[in-house]
Chain A
Amino acid sequence: MKKLINSMWGYWLLLLVISLGIAAAIYEIWLRGRI
């Protein structure tokens, strides 16, 4: 994990995955079937 964070692109990718995960959670909790 430390190696991943130590690379800028690795960190970029990690944040992107976390962000998409949170977006998916928001979609499942609040938005599914309503948009």
Chain B
Amino acid sequence: MFEFLIAGVEVPYLLLVMVGITVGMVGGFIGVGGGYMVTPALIVFGFPGYMASGIDMTHIAGKGVVSSIRHREMGNIDWTLALTMIAGTMLGVELGVRTLVYFKHLGISSVVLLITSVAIMLFLFIYTQMETRRAHKKMEKMAQEGKKVGREVQTSNLPILFQKIPLAPIVRCRNARVIISMWVIVLVGAVTGFLAGFLGVGGGFIRVPALVYVVGASTHIAVGTDLVEIAVSGGYGALRHSIEGNVDIVAVLFMIAGAMFGAQFGSIATAYVRGPAIRYILSYSLILATFGAVLRLVYVLSGQNIELLSLAAVMLTLGEMIFLCLFILSLVFFATRYRAGKWVPDWVKTLVV
């Protein structure tokens, strides 16, 4: 047990280190901040809501930097894409927050926000899951025919459409191997930033699919590039929350201590898998986050503290973090076995390298 004096709560510090490790690993692997997992977890542990957001945002900034450094070393960051997108993201977040304030003045309740976030996450889950399954089947077919399977296989036609837009200036993203109008990248940043600002989330789970399915970047590049965005937006959020006094720095340090290891491992783990494996994990994280939002929706609609609902929230919050980590760890384990020529499940063979 450790008493966090600024937040005024007593929590086992090992639990915070564990959250740091798990969310760091997931974030480094799929390129998200993981706020939709950390904030509910901290609230479950007894931190006040505003403190949970502040601690989460500050730890995301630290984790984003660690993951970005590791992904940079692995060549997974496209700086042209990242820097162009940041401009659109900042604009979008500001617009999203202002729209949220406007809707709140109109009297639109949190129920609408929750329904919107459920709809968006569900749509992204269905699209990502369907496309990834198609890509997985295509890879299996290629392997059966004896063809060489690349690190990335993507079956969506959307990037071709967006890359054809002839709006100058056209930019060349060397690492992502994409030639596209700058305005498409800015627009992707603005739209995903708007949704993030409106829904009150970091937005990594929207940006990564957007980078893959709209811009046409490979999943590895999308993950690395999005982590740069997360480090920047997380840094800004951390500064704002610190000024407001919403940050318990000791709790942040415990979480970052765990995230240092988790984020490094998650980033390195991407080298063991092909793009669709990352997209599978991303889609699983989306559906689990959707369940979390549905639970909150039921909680808000019922208007009372139902014991079973609270227990379900705890199980889901902790369970989803553990599930995603176990999946990533097992993919690395299977990849190591596959490289050594040992038995692995059939479905794994085309997902690992």
Contact = CB atoms under 8 A, between A and B. Distances in A.
A34 B1 CA distance: 12
A20 B319 contact: yes
A30 B314 CA distance: 12
A12 to B, nearest CB: 8
A31 B315 CA distance: 11
B345 interface: yes
Interface stretch (B56-64, B115-123, B219-227, B323-331): B323-331
Contacts of B326: 15, 18-19
B183 to A, nearest CB: 39
Contact of A6 (B12, B311, B319, B347): B347
Interface string A12-30: 1001101110111011001
B299 interface: no
B282 to A, nearest CB: 14
Contacts of B46: 34-35
B137 to A, nearest CB: 11
Could you tell me the dominant secondary structure of chain B's interface residues?
helix
Could you tell me the dominant secondary structure of chain A's interface residues?
helix
Interface residue tally on B, bucketed by range: 20 to 34
A31 B45 contact: yes
Given A6-B346, A6-B347, A23 B315 contact: yes
Given A6-B346, A23-B322, A34-B46, A15 B327 contact: yes
Interface residue tally on A, bucketed by range: 20 to 34
Contacts of B297: none
A20 B315 contact: yes
A27 B316 CA distance: 11
A30 B12 contact: yes
Interface in B266-313: 284, 310-311
Contact of A35 (B314, B320, B345): B314
A23 B318 contact: yes
A19 B322 contact: yes
A5 B45 CA distance: 34
A11 to B, nearest CB: 7
Contacts of A27: 311, 314-315, 318
A24 to B, nearest CB: 7
A15 B315 CA distance: 14
Nearest to B284: A12
A18 B44 CA distance: 21
A5 B15 CA distance: 30
A20 B323 CA distance: 8
Given A26-B318, A34-B46, A19 B323 contact: yes
A27 B45 CA distance: 10
B254 to A, nearest CB: 15
Interface of B: 12, 15, 44-46, 284, 310-311, 314-315, 318-320, 322-323, 326-327, 330, 345-347
16 contacts: A6-B345, A7-B347, A11-B345, A11-B347, A15-B323, A19-B320, A19-B323, A19-B326, A23-B322, A24-B315, A30-B12, A31-B45, A34-B46, A35-B45, A35-B46, A35-B314
